[in-house]
Amino acid sequence: MHTRRTHRRTRIGGTRIRATFLAAALLATACSAGGASTSAGPAAQAAGATEPATASLAPLPKATPAELSPYYEQKLGWRDCGVPGFQCATMKAPLDYAQPADGDVRLAVARKKATGPGKRLGSLLVNPGGPGGSAVSYLQQYAGIGYPEKIRAQYDMVAVDPRGVARSEPVECLDGRQMDAYTRTDVTPDDEDETDELVDAFKEFAEGCGADSPKLLRHVSTVEAARDMDVLRAVLGDDKLTYVGASYGTLLGATYAGLFPDRAGRLVLDGAMDPSLPARRLNLEQTAGFETAFQSFAKDCVRRADCPLGDKNATPAEVGRNLKAFFGDLDAKPIPTGDADGRKLTESLATTGVIAAMYDEGAWQQLRKSLTSATKENDGAGLLALSDSYYEREADGGYSNLMFANAAVNCLDLPAAFSSPDEVRDALPDFEKASPVFGEGLAWASLNCTYWPVRASGEPHRIEAAGATPIVVVGTTRDPATPYRWAEALAAQLSSGRLLTYEGDGHTAYGRGSTCIDSAIDTYLLRGTAPEDGKRCS
């Protein structure tokens, strides 16, 4: 992210990590929440806002406008994907829903048909989050084979890469060499020179995105992606949308419900976001979420014989100070990694590696091992591998477009968190209070959208979706990327929201091993029976 990332699963040294990239969580990339033009005015004024929005997202007319009928009535040409059991197709959507005649955007769609036996219930659309996560890859690599058999038996499992993402006319910004430099950028500047270097990095990133996709960049908002989902619903022949979205995918799903409450079917929003928050508060609350997750990791770490950050008597605060001191050492002198491209472990890369491991407690062992290697053996390879997984850096030095799409959507959806470095400096005490370990870096990372080449088209808003059937909102109490308070807030906003709570660690809850959570969601998807509002699981 930083704020808005994905529920993708990546293996690192045998550890499976779920990473959900939200707009404020990508510290080293600074793909944090918010977006704005560089000019003063409404965007700059909104940047200082701290209170949640009171305006609600208005639903669209029930009748499909005549000019959109060709999109809603199109036929998909399904073909073999090259992945056994999956079919792929390309769907057209208007680049600009307000001006459909201005051209199309082509979206990649994939499905795995229901396996039976039993009555087919329609299509189940899945989205792993991001923004920027490939839903098609998620379907092919996990959901289409890893979702419960009884779900896959009765639903066609379907995914669409949102506009600007992966196979759907991807936004591109920097090449691999440039991204390597960008991810190493110091996001805890010590003086004016380092501040200028950070600002220059943000500007170069933004200019690269603007040069590659000047027209598309204005039309990758969450609202437009949600409207694309309604076109897909119709093309698939479903009267209502059935959907499971994780992390940023919850914002997509909630936005769909707000725009089309009468077409919202069984929606599961896991690891929920609060759409009413302005960018600065969104980032600040997520910063506190990462601190909550780190405290949990620290308590676990000191009980282990291999904890490199403190003995069994160390407090979480002491563990945090030890980690912060290690980051400071790297800021002064990066350490070797054995990387074929000669990359060293910098403070920013190490911090990203630690953040990556906060998404799933299953990665904590790998994090302890990597920190031990770095602090005791001067070997940064393990933390670099964690960081590379977070950025989706490939073995050949290339990158997926995850980070590019992440920034493109976030910077269009909300006015920027800050309008200048001076505003970041003024906010540092609040961010460092929220997280002594990560606060400084996450505050500076929130400056990236200030230099975005197009103006933000969205604003914070509530989503009520009046008239929708029950919508299940899932929150994890120690979720690092989508704080539990966000799930409470979204469930309260939705007129038919049902809050389902997982008391535990990690990002998102469905499929994490809680029989209670999984059973409640499976029952809802198969029978339409939503869990009782306020149900808690562990």
- Residues annotated as catalytic (active site), given as ranges: 247, 479, 507
Identify the helix (H) or strand (E) that includes residue 92.
Answer: strand 87-94
**Which residues have CB under 8 Å from 51's CB, separation 6+?**
278, 281
Query: Could you identify the residue written with the tokens 């070997």?
Result: 379
Is the peptide bond preceding residue 470 cis, with omega within 30 degrees of 0? no
H/E/C letters for each residue in 220-259?
A: CCHHHHHHHHHHHHHHHCCCCEEEEEECHHHHHHHHHHHH
Output the six-digit token pair for 30.
């600074």
Answer positive or negative: Cα dihedral of 192, 197, 200, 205: negative
Q: What is the rounded distance in angstroms from the CA atom of residue 428 to the CA atom of residue 62?
A: 46
Q: 441 Cβ partners below 8 Å, 6+ apart?
A: 27, 28, 187, 188, 348, 351
Q: Which amino acid is at 286?
A: Q
Q: Give the side-chain half-sphere CA count within 13 A for 205.
A: 31
3-state secondary structure 341-380: CCCCECHHHHHHHHHHHHCCHHHHHHHHHHHHHHHHHCCC
Cα(first)–Cα(last) distance of the chain, in Å? 27
Q: CA-to-CA distance for 350 and 441, rounded, in angstroms?
A: 12
Helices (H), 435-514: 439-445, 484-493
